[in-house]
Amino acid sequence: MPVKTVKTTCIAVLCGLLFCATGAVSASAATPCPVADVAQDLVSPNPQIRLKAGRVLRQAACFGAALPLATLIADPVDEVQLEGIAGEVAIFLNKNAVPKRRVGFLIEVRHEVASDAFWAGPMTSTGRPAPPQVLAALRTAAHDDNPRVAVEALYAFGALASEVKGTARQELQAANGPYLADLAGSSQMEMRLAAVAVIGRLYARWPGENLEESVGPAMVTALGDVNDAVKVVAARGIGGMRYERALQPLTDLFTARGKGDVAEAAADALARIAHPSSMPLFTSLITSPEAPLRAIAIAGLARGGDRRALADIVDNLAFERSDEVLLSVNFAWIMLENTTIDPLGEGLLKASGHDLALAYLIEVATLRPAKFLAYAIDPDPRLRADVADILGVTRDPRGLPLVQPMLKDKNPLVVQAAERAIARMQ
């Protein structure tokens, strides 16, 4: 195992014990958090003992283990560091996170738990923000000399940091802008991809927020990356940020590609920004032979708020058969005419349309959470869980009266969704 020069200290572990004792609650009241049992092992000079202690805390996945595990993220041994990162992922994102998995009980296969959890999206999170010490440890590890440790730490940082709320979120964004912009210019493609993905998640604008523009130029630069995956992720991130200074580069990128993943990502970013200057482009794309581009164009026109666009949509799509496009038409009717959300609700129950329907409903929920009342008590537990997640992602406390009764739901998945939603809205 490669060894570095960083040392783990007893002070940090003792801070973790204090954190456990003064307010963090174990995930299960019947299973006490085992921090005290492994405290000495976490500072053992033997890396195998430290690794074993980290594994115990990861498997417990209790909030009280968050700070003790943070000390392992700075461990001089790569494998111990990865165990510490996996432990934080287990606590805040995915309790089943394991840095290695066995195939046929014979071969150990590397498993990138932080990147997997990040790309699984915010719905897998507990909704509970990580302590600042954990975020600081992950940020530092993102500069590790082992590329795998660095990238895993960055993904974990992005996923956990995006749950921070209020003024702490604004401070976090301002403090980390130059740092993340620098990583977005890394010579390593994996690091550039991770950096632009984290920027897109952390700097996506929530309702009522102003854009922290320090990362904007780096994201525009990433649109010209040699790797198409970086281009796509950068464009998606810019769309979530609604960074208007990227309008021309996005338009140029779309024009240069015309179709395919990169073109669709650029068009989708323009549709999310929904600037008036892009409306003629969306109107022209309603008749595109590519269904994804038709759907993107309709969503862009809907976000633009021009009710006259509905006439063009109806006239040109009377015989539309694409589920993706039909969902976007329903989204447009909701946004422009305040119609029922039932067609999008039905889309949640179809595997082919679930993710797109979910994304559209999140946008609707930021404006009209009361529309979800009937779905919060729907007989189908899948819909109840989705509604809890949708309202939670908006961070809008107006959704609390709809979600709080779900804490008593008979379905455990609905209860879990309600818990993370309430953690986000409070």
Q: What is the pLDDT of residues 30-76, one digit of tens each?
A: 468 999 999 999 999 999 999 999 999 999 999 999 999 999 999 99
Instruction: For residue 102, list its beta bridge partners.
Output: 108
Chain-centre distance of CA 272, in angstroms? 17
How high is the mean pLDDT of the chain? 88
Q: What is the Cβ-side half-sphere exposure of residue 275, based on CA atoms within 13 angstroms?
A: 16
Query: For residue 410, what is the enclosing H or E element?
Result: none
pLDDT digits (tens, 9 = 90+) for 354-393: 999 999 999 999 999 999 999 999 999 999 999 999 999 9
Token pair of 274 as six digits: 């929904």
Query: Is residue 67 within 8 Å of 134, Cβ to Cβ?
Result: yes
pLDDT for the residue numbered 21: 34
C-alpha to C-alpha distance for 214 and 172, rounded to whole angstroms: 12
Residue 16 has pLDDT above 70, yes or no: no
Residue 23 has pLDDT above 70, yes or no: no
Residue 261 has pLDDT above 90, yes or no: yes
Q: What is the DSSP string of 73-140?
A: HT-SBHHHHHHHHHHHHHHHT-TT--SEEEETTTEEEE--HHHHHHHT-GGGS-SPPPPHHHHHHHHH
Q: What angle do CA 105, 111, 115 make, to 5 degrees?
A: 160
C-alpha to C-alpha distance for 271 and 39, rounded to whole angstroms: 52
pLDDT digits (tens, 9 = 90+) for 197-226: 999 999 999 888 888 889 999 999 999 999
Of 272, 207, 210, the C-alpha closest to 235 is: 272
C-alpha to C-alpha distance for 210 and 386, rounded to whole angstroms: 28
Domain ranges of the chain: 340-426
pLDDT for the residue numbered 111: 58
pLDDT for the residue numbered 20: 38
- Average the pLDDT over 318-346 and give the result: 93
pTM: 0.88
Q: Which residue has the tokens 């590519």?
A: 290
111-115, 253-257, 347-351: which has the minimum mean pLDDT? 111-115
Comparison of pLDDT for 196 and 124, the residue scoring more: 196
Of 172, 231, 150, the C-alpha closest to 197 is: 231
| Cβ atoms < 10 Å from Cβ of 292 | 21
C-alpha to C-alpha distance for 168 and 155, rounded to whole angstroms: 20
pLDDT for the residue numbered 207: 81
Please give the C-alpha separations between residue 25 and each of 69, 217, 223, in angstroms, as whole numbers: 16, 41, 43
Query: Is residue 305 within 8 Å of 325, Cβ to Cβ?
Result: no
pLDDT digits (tens, 9 = 90+) for 113-144: 899 999 988 887 888 889 999 999 999 999 99
Q: Which residue has the tokens 């006259």?
A: 308
Q: What angle do CA 16, 66, 115 make, to 5 degrees?
A: 150
Residue 107 has pLDDT above 60, yes or no: no
The architecture CATH gives domain 340-426? Alpha Horseshoe (1.25)
Q: Where residue 292 falls among pLDDT bands split at 50, 70, 90? A: very high
> Residue 163: helix, strand or coil by DSSP?
coil
95-104, 189-198, 313-322, 351-360: which has the minimum mean pLDDT? 95-104
Tell me the angle at which helices 261-273 and 228-241 cross, rounded to the nearest 10 degrees: 10
